[in-house]
A and B are shown apart, each in its own frame.
Chain A
Amino acid sequence: MQGGGAAEGEALDFEPEDDDLMDEDGAPDADASPPHPKLKSAITSGAAPSLSAPKKTKGRGFRQETDTNRNNRLSGSDFDSLTTEGGPGPQRSIEGWIILVTGVHEEAQEDDLQNAFGEYGEIKNLHLNLDRRTGFVKGYALIEYERAEEAKNAIENLNGSELLTQNIYVDWAFSSGPINESIRRKNARPTRDRRSRSPRRRY
């Protein structure tokens, strides 16, 4: 892409696949894809809605005339967000730090989470949503701590631990920047700020 990245001597991953970082706001056209070079693999850019690999499609939405506004409602730049201080990584929410817990047992109660997570700090907010059809716990919980360190400790200590015979996974919920390919690979590297990749090697 645009070669704006200054060489900083960091080891970059030159993965042999296409990685187009999308425009900040995303092109609003549902159908327009930026012209991609022919890809060796099926991996495509992450920009929505300009996904480029052919998909099996289904539904009336493909056959209907797109309402002119459909593509505009979620585009544009006047969306409120919290400003990020500092670099990439987890982002602070309005009054604290939010973590996501997954793998929660369907019969878990708020108290079970309070007991496990309360050890790392005072829980300011706890959302344990139910499955709307069954009434059981949906499987995730969102917990807020006032301080980043409390959240970090909860993550480090409880991620992969057992709650009511089931393993739970704990991680930050909000990030200060977009996910790029290296994060999707589930390694621990922090999110990079929209740095464009060097052009692919041409064989």
Chain B
Amino acid sequence: MATEEENNEFYLRYYVGHKGKFGHEFLEFEFRPDGKLRYANNSNYKNDTIIRKEVYLTPAVLRECRRIIAESEIMKEDDNNWPEPDRVGRQELEIVMGNEHISFTTSKIGSLVDVQSSADPEGLRIFYYLVQDLKCFVFSLISLHFKIKPI
């Protein structure tokens, strides 16, 4: 049992944001090894303020997150041919899984057109879809835990 557990570390952080007229607008979330999920969404649009939520997830949820990442095979990719972050925006994806630690940064991706026309369409596509799947997962978790249903 010990050998499998030795590589059991898991950490994930995703950030997407830009700085502009409405301040530093960003979305960021983090899955910590102890199960804590932290979520932050900031904008000064119409003088809005930052939203910060946190909740502890069960091991079952972390396991599912790991499965999503493993299935995407993002850990095999590399960002060295991905577009650099620019004025338009920035994305960061940092994952620790087992004995590997990736920390990718790239610009914002508007659509598949941006993916196709990049220098590493295959890798960037994996990133593109994984980010969407992770957002779906996190938004579901956060909204189910915190949001009240309207009547």
Task: Give the interface of A toward B (CB within 8 A).
Answer: 21-22, 26, 41-44, 46-49, 51, 53-62, 64, 69-70, 73-74, 78-82, 90-91, 93-95, 98, 100, 102, 124-125, 127, 129-133, 138-140, 142, 144, 169, 171-180, 183-186
Contacts and interface: CB of A to CB of B under 8 A. Distances in A.
B84 to A, nearest CB: 8
Contacts of A69: 24
Contact of B136 (A26, A132, A184): A132
Given A80-B51, A94-B146, 20 more contacts: A43-B6, A43-B8, A46-B9, A47-B33, A60-B79, A60-B84, A61-B102, A61-B103, A70-B92, A93-B144, A93-B146, A98-B145, A102-B64, A125-B149, A139-B64, A173-B61, A174-B57, A174-B145, A179-B58, A179-B62
B58 A26 contact: no
Interface string B92-117: 10101001111111000000000000
B11 A51 contact: yes
A80 B102 CA distance: 29
B100 A74 contact: no
Nearest to A132: B132
B140 interface: yes
A60 B103 contact: yes
Contacts of B54: 79-81
A21 B35 CA distance: 12
A69 B34 CA distance: 23
B146 to A, nearest CB: 6
Contact of B9 (A44, A125, A131, A133): A44
B79 A178 contact: no
Contacts of A94: 145-148
7 contacts: A41-B2, A51-B11, A74-B38, A82-B145, A102-B60, A184-B8, A185-B1
